[in-house]
């Protein structure tokens, strides 16, 4: 089979190599899937560069989520050959990959492979953040930074479905239109406007009850100036490249909560909650409340070009790769 492979950490333009590999062996509760589509995430850039929280052992096949068809299963795997599934596991940028039972789900009947490859990570992350970590309530004000990105579009859609009033920031009129289509009521071009002033004006000076921040850096710093009393700021990631810090007196004075989310850790500490959340997300998908915003579906050979779209912030929602 063909697989994109990294032998040395560094820039994806230099380190990604398309190679021939043997098909993975399946055993136990795992399944082997023929990959139809793979989803691209910002962490793929970090993983290839060796800058992600957990470094992959070299050499490795990058990619963290995919959708495809089961072609083989281990002795204790409940999945059957021919079933359509999505999975989140290492090795997604290949023609075949291992799909662990605890990270693999059968697809709803009407879900396409493109939607499936763009679904699990962003919607699980945003639902966990908004519901399980921040306790977002109907009628609250939700500020979503990076609103046109993968987790951003998911957060807007989920926030709207939960009954929140959603404010979104993005860096262009095209991306703001994506946020509007997802359900945002107030759109802020952070390159042309001060989001602090706009949020405070929209909320009559009260600020946002929940701030969803996958950006970090200056965005986190300034968000403290437009968060409501007893507000919650969700730390999702640091796409700006700078991990911010906060003086704890600011947390005390406004009675705010700074809430972190590393969704992957729930596989170790509370895997049943992931299972329950997946069922809830499928219900929301089937009812039309959520649907991935697909910027483009590119051919397998075009993976470096697809990663470049993310690196240069030229895409919105999700970019997916058509493997077969």
Q: Which domains does the chain have, with CATH numbers?
A: 2-119+292-322 (3.90.180.10), 122-264 (3.40.50.720)
Q: Are 294 and 320 in contact, with CB atoms under 8 Å apart?
A: yes
The token pair at 280 is 């809830």
Q: What is the rounded CA–CA span in Å between residue 70 and residue 31? A: 7
DSSP 3-state assignment of 82? coil
DSSP 3-state assignment of 294? strand
Mean pLDDT along residues 38-55: 93
pLDDT by residue (tens digit) across 260-311? 999 999 999 999 999 999 999 999 999 999 999 999 999 999 999 999 999 9
DSSP 3-state assignment of 53? coil
Q: Quick one: CA dihedral 86, 90, 96, 99, positive or negative?
A: negative
The pLDDT value recorded for residue 280 is 98
The pLDDT value recorded for residue 54 is 85
Q: Are 100 and 41 in contact, with CB atoms under 8 Å apart?
A: no
Confidence of residue 324 (pLDDT cuts 50, 70, 90): confident
- Does the pLDDT value for residue 53 go beyond 90? no
Angle at 204 between CA 194 and CA 149, to 5 degrees: 45
The token pair at 7 is 């032998």
DSSP 3-state assignment of 228? strand
Q: Are 261 and 125 in contact, with CB atoms under 8 Å apart?
A: yes
pLDDT by residue (tens digit) across 159-198? 999 999 999 999 999 999 999 999 999 999 999 999 999 9
Mean pLDDT along residues 26-48: 96
Cα–Cα distances (Å) from 144 to 38, 123, 133, 150, in that order, read 25, 14, 15, 12
Q: pTM of the full predicted structure?
A: 0.94
Alpha helices in the chain (DSSP H): 12-15, 42-49, 113-117, 120-127, 150-161, 173-182, 195-202, 217-223, 248-253, 266-269, 271-286, 303-311
């Amino acid at each position: 089979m063909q697989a994109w492979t990294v032998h040395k950490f560094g820039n994806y333009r230099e380190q990604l190599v398309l190679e021939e590999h043997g098909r993975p062996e399946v055993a136990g509760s795992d399944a082997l899937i023929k990959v139809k589509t793979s989803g691209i995430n910002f962490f793929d850039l970090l993983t290839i560069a060796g800058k992600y929280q957990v470094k992959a052992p070299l050499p490795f096949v990058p990619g963290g989520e995919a959708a495809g068809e089961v072609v083989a299963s281990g002795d204790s795997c409940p999945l059957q050959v021919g079933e359509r599934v999505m999975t989140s596991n290492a090795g997604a940028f290949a023609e075949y990959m291992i799909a662990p039972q605890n990270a693999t789900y059968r697809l709803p009947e009407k879900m396409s492979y493109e939607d499936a490859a763009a679904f699990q990570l962003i919607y699980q992350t945003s639902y966990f953040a908004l519901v399980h970590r921040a306790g977002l309530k109907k009628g609250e004000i939700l500020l979503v930074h990076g609103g046109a990105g993968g987790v951003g579009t998911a957060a807007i859609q989920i926030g709207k479905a939960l009954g929140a009033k959603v404010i979104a920031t993005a860096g262009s009129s095209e991306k703001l239109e994506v946020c509007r289509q997802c359900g945002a009521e107030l759109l802020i071009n952070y390159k042309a406007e001060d989001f602090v002033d706009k949020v405070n004006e929209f909320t009559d000076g009260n600020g946002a009850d929940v701030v969803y921040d996958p950006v970090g850096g200056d965005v986190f710093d300034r968000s403290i100036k437009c968060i409501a009393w007893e507000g919650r700021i969700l730390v999702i990631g640091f796409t700006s490249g700078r991990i911010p810090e906060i003086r704890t007196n600011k947390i005390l004075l406004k009675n705010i909560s700074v809430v972190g989310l590393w969704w992957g850790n729930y596989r170790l500490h509370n895997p049943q909650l992931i299972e329950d959340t997946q069922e809830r997300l499928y219900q929301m998908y089937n009812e039309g409340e959520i649907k991935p915003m697909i910027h483009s579906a590119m051919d397998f050979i075009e993976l470096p070009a697809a990663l470049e779209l993310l690196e240069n912030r030229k895409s919105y929602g999700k970019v997916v790769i058509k493997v077969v």
